[in-house]
Amino acid sequence: MTDRRDPRESVFAFIAFAIIAAFVVIWAFVILQTLLTEPATGEDQVAVSSGLTSAAGAITTLLATRTASVLGFAATSREAPDGTPSPQGTVAGALTGATKWAIGAYLVVGIAVVITWLYRGAVSPQVVAAFALGVFGWLGSAAAIVFAARSTAGARQSGRAPL
């Protein structure tokens, strides 16, 4: 029996997991720096280098937009990555493994950033506060997508019009 998978899939999976790993590592540095250092004398916030701030912002935007858009498409299409109907028509069944990992990483890191922001408060760098607020927006959007998908699926099964 031969494996007929596209060889590009493994390259794409490697790239996806490298991006997810970079996201986790970059935010781990930001969180640790925020938790373990005090603002310099005369400064109001913990200093984070501009390079680290730019990298954190760029990779966060990449992961947030990717996961949000894929969630939206998955909720509307209800197809598995190979084009077949997803198991039980679920949103999760329509997501690739890399996308599931990205969503999980975004949630875990996002919650850690929110906790860091709440714990350190005013001394948190602006990049931490911005991401913490962005996590709430992302969670709200993800919840709306998932609940709308469930509402629509339930309405279809019962023969009612979706809300």
Exposed/middle/buried for residue 116 (C-beta within 10 Å: 0-12, 13-18, 19+): buried
Q: Residue 134 — pLDDT band, cuts 50, 70, 90? A: very high
Q: For residue range 56-107, list pLDDT tens digits in order.
A: 999 999 999 888 888 777 666 655 556 666 554 566 666 778 888 999 999 9
Taking the model in full, what pTM does it have? Answer: 0.76
Report CA-CA distances (Å) from 113 to 5, 87, 126, 139.
38, 33, 12, 14
**Closest Cα partner for 142 from 87, 83, 84, 63?**
63
Q: Residue 133 — pLDDT band, cuts 50, 70, 90? A: very high
Q: Which of 29-38, 79-88, 110-119, 127-136 has the lowest mean pLDDT?
A: 79-88
**Rounded distance between C-alpha atoms, residue 100 and residue 93, angstroms:** 10
